[in-house]
Chains A and B, each alone.
Chain A
Amino acid sequence: MASLAKSLNREFQNYLAFEKEHTRATLFFSVSPLIKLLHTVWLLLVVNTFLPDPRFWATLSFGLLLISLMVRINFSRLMKFVVILGILYPLIVAIPILFITPGNVWATIPLGEWITSNPNAFTITITNEGIMVAGIYFLRIFTNVTVVAFLILSTPFTHIIHALRQLKVPTVFTSLLMLTYRYFFFFFENLVSIIQADESRHVRKLPFIQRFAHLSNLFGNLLLRSLHQGVNVHRAMLARGYNGEFPLLEFSSNRKATIIYIAIILVYLGLGCFFYFIW
C-alpha cells in the first residue's frame, strides 16, 4: 500500500517536475498559451462535433504523437499519459459495450458451459455493431486524451490558467483550478506520510474486516488533515488581503514562435479542407 502511494506520488511529482524542466526545451514552450489553448479547444470541437470520423481521429492522434517526437515533448511521459487515460480507462467502459450492443452476432462465448459444464448455461455474444460502437468510443476518447495531453505537456499549468483568464473565464473557476492544483501536492504528501506512519507500526497482519475498518480510519484522517490544512490556507489567504482574485502575471510569449505555430495550423487546416471537401 505504502509503496503504491509512494510510486503514485513519485510519478505525480515527476510529471510536474517535467512540466517545468522539459517544456522549456520544446519549441512550443514560448508559443502564446492563449493560441495553444484556443487551438486545443478547436481540435476538441472538431473531434467531437464537426468531424466525427474515426479515420480523422486516428490520423490526428498519430499525427500529434509524431509531432511530439519532433518538437521534443517527452515522448515516454506522453505515452504514459495516453496509455493510462486514453487506453486503459476507455477500455474499462468499451469492453462491456462489446457485449451489450444488439446486432449481428460476431462471436458467441459459452461462458456458462466453461464454468458449469452445462451446455444450456448462459452465453455472452459479441456483435458486429458492438465492436463498431466500442471501437468508435475507444478511438474518440483516445484522440481527446492525446489532444489534451499534447497541450498539457507543452504548456506549464500556470500559462494555461493565464490563457483562461485572458479568455475571461470566471475568476472563481480559475481560482478553484489553481487551488486544486496546489491541493494535489498536499494530498499526495499527506497520503504518503499517513501510510508510512501506519506501516511503520504494523507488526501483524489484520483480519480482513479490521483491515477494512483501519483503512477507513486512515482515509478519515486524511480528510481531516485536508480540512485542517484548508482552514490554514484560507487564513493565510485572508492575512494577505484575499478579495476573491488571484494575480494575473504577464507571460512574455515569443511572437515569432507564435506566428510559426499559427502558420502551421493554417497549413494543416488548408490541407484538411482540401482533402475533405475537394479530393
Chain B
Amino acid sequence: MPTAKSTTNSTTQPTTVPVIVFEDVSFSYHSQVQILHNLSFSVNQGDAMVFLGENGSGKSTLFLNLLHLVSGHSGSIVVENLEVSRKTEKKVRQRVGIIFQNSNDQLFLPTVKEEIAFGPYNLGFSGEDLENRIIHAAKSIGVDDILDKKIFHLSQGEKKRVAIAAVYAMDPEIYLFDEPFANLDPKTKTDLAQILLELHQQGKTILLISHDLDRLPEFFTRAIVLHAGAKTFDGTLRDLYSHSEILTQANLQVPSVVELYNLVKNKLMERNPHLIEKIGGEIPANPKSIPIPITINEFSKILDRTLDKILEQILEKTN
C-alpha cells in the first residue's frame, strides 16, 4: 500500500491507459426520468478531472452508475477492463472508492476506527493486517489522533477526513469525490486540496464533482460539463473559461483569478489602448494568443511581465 505522506513532490504524469470508458451511457430512474443521455468519454490512469454542471445535471448519478450503486444503465461502462454490471460490481468497488458529498451518509459505524476498518475488513483483512491498514490510512490522512472518537463528536472537516481515510484504507486506484469542498471552512478546504494532491502524486485517478472553481487544485486540468444529463463540454479548464456560454448554461462562475485578469485587461485598455499595444504587454495586447491564466501564480507572472514593460516604456520616454 503506498504512503501518502512519504511520497516525493514530483507529480505522477497521467498515462494514456484508459481506466474508465463510458460509451453511449444513458440512465433513467424507473424508466421515467432520463438522467443521463448518451454519455461517452474515457479517463486515463492518473488523470485528475472535474465534472461540472448545474444541480440535477446528473453528475452524482454518473458516479453511482460507475460503481453500480444504481442499476439499469444502457450503453457500456468499463472500469479497468471490467464491464460494470451486477456480476462485476464487487471487483469494481475494490478498484473505485467514492467519497460522498454528505459525510453523514457515508459514516455509519460508531467510532472512527471501526469506520476505517469496514472497507479493508470486507476485502478480507483481519487481525494485525487489518490493524496495520487502519493505522496507516489514519496516519496518511491525518486522523490518527481521533481513532477512538465517536463519529457524532466530529466536526464536518474531521468527518470528511474520516470518509477519505475509510476509502483510502481500501487502497483503490480510482477516487470519486462528490463535491468534497462543500460546507467546509477555508483551512479544511486547503487541507483537503493537499490530500487530493498527495493522491494525485501517488498516481491515483481522481474524478471530482464541484461547483467551486476557485477551489480546484491546479493539477485538475480536464473538465467535463454536463447539462440535463448530456455532455456539453469535454476539454481543458483553460478552454472552458473562454466559453462563457457553457459556464452560464451550467450555472457556473469563472474563477476569481480569471475575472481579475479580465478586469485588469479592460481597465488598461480603457486608459490607453495605443500605449498598451505599443508596449506589447501581455494582458491587453494580444489576449487571444496568450493563454488565460487559471491560477494566481500564472496571473502574477503575466502581471509582472506587463508591468515591467510599462515601466520600461515610461523610463524610455523620460530619458
Q: Which residues of A contact B (CB under 8 A)?
A: 13, 16-17, 19-20, 157-158, 178-179, 181-182, 185-186, 189, 229, 232-233, 235-243, 245-247, 249-250
- Shortest CB-to-CB span from A241 to chain B, Å, is 4
B98 within 8 A of A: yes
Asked whether any CB of chain A lies closer than 8 Å to the CB of B313, the reply is no
Interface centre among B89, B94, B108, B148, by most A CB within 10 Å? B108
Q: Does the CB pair A158–B90 fall under 8 Å?
A: no
Contacts of A189 on B, CB cut-off 8 Å? 104
Q: Are A20 and B105 in contact (CB under 8 A)?
A: no
A229: B residues at CB distance < 8 A: 104-105
A158 touches B110 (CB 8 A): yes
Residues of B within 8 A of A240 (CB): 93, 97, 118-119, 122, 166-167, 170
- Taking each of A19, A236, A240, A241, which has the highest tally of chain B beta carbons within 10 Å of its own beta carbon? A240
CA of A145 to CA of B58, assembled, Å = 51
Is B241 part of the binding interface, using a Cβ–Cβ cutoff of 8 Å? no
B-side contacts of A13, CB under 8 Å: 152
Is B117 positioned at the interface, with any CB of A under 8 Å from its CB? yes
How far apart are the CA atoms of A50 and B143 in the complex, in Å? 49
Inside 8 A of B113's CB, which chain A residues have their CB?
249
Assembly CA distance A189 to B102 (angstroms)? 14
List, in ascending order, chain B residues with CB within 8 A of A242's CB. 118, 122
Query: Can you offer 27 A-B residue contacts whose CB atoms are under 8 A?
Result: A17-B150, A20-B148, A20-B149, A157-B110, A178-B110, A181-B110, A182-B109, A182-B110, A182-B151, A185-B152, A189-B104, A232-B100, A232-B105, A232-B106, A235-B64, A235-B100, A236-B98, A236-B107, A238-B69, A240-B122, A240-B167, A240-B170, A241-B123, A241-B170, A242-B118, A249-B114, A250-B127
Rounded to whole Å, the gap between the CB of A47 and the closest CB of chain B is: 29
**Closest A residue, CB atoms, query B121:** A247
In the complex, are the beta carbons of A241 and B105 less than 8 A apart?
no
Q: Is B30 interfacial (CB 8 A cutoff)?
A: no
Chain A nearest CB from B109 CB (Å) reads: 6
Nearest neighbor of B94 in chain A, beta-carbon distance: A241
In the complex, chain A residues whose CB is within 8 Å of the CB of B44 = none
A49 to chain B, nearest CB (A): 32
Q: Look across to chain B and name the residue whose beta carbon is closest to the beta carbon of A12.
A: B152
Q: Which residues of the other chain, A, contact B67 by a CB distance below 8 angstroms? A: 238-239
Interface assignment of B295: CB less than 8 Å from any CB of chain A: no
Output the nearest chain A residue to B96 by Cβ-Cβ distance. A239
B122, A16: Cβ atoms under 8 Å?
no
Name the interface residues of B127-179: CB closer than 8 Å to any CB of A: 127, 130-131, 148-153, 166-167, 170
Which residues on B sit within 8 Å (CB–CB) of A247? 114, 117-118, 120-121, 130
A158-B69 in contact (CB<8A)? no
B111: Cβ under 8 A from any A Cβ: yes
> Which residues of chain A are near B106, meaning CB under 8 Å?
232-233, 236
Contact indicator B122/A243 (Cβ below 8 Å): yes
Q: Are B114 and A241 closer than 8 Å at their CB atoms?
A: no
A176 to chain B minimum Cβ distance, whole angstroms, is 12
Query: In the assembled complex, which residues on chain A have CB atoms less than 8 Å from the CB atom of B109?
Result: 178, 182, 246
- A199 CB → nearest B CB, Å: 23
Please, what's the 1-or-0 string for B7-34, where 1 marks a CB less than 8 Å from any CB in chain A? 0000000000000000000000000000
Check A233–B93 contact: CB distance below 8 A. Answer: no
How distant is the Cα of A62 from the Cα of B118 in the complex, in angstroms? 41
In the bound complex, what is the Cα–Cα distance between A243 and B113 (angstroms)? Answer: 19
| B170 → chain A closest CB, angstroms | 7
CA gap between A171 and B110 in the complex, in Å: 16
User: How near does chain A come to B207, taking the closest CB pair, in angstroms?
Assistant: 14
Q: How distant is the Cα of A235 from the Cα of B106 in the complex, in angstroms?
A: 8
**A240 to B117 Cα, complex, angstroms:** 10
A235 B93 Cβ-Cβ under 8 A: no
Given contacts A232-B102, A238-B93, A240-B170, contact A182 B108 (CB under 8 A): yes
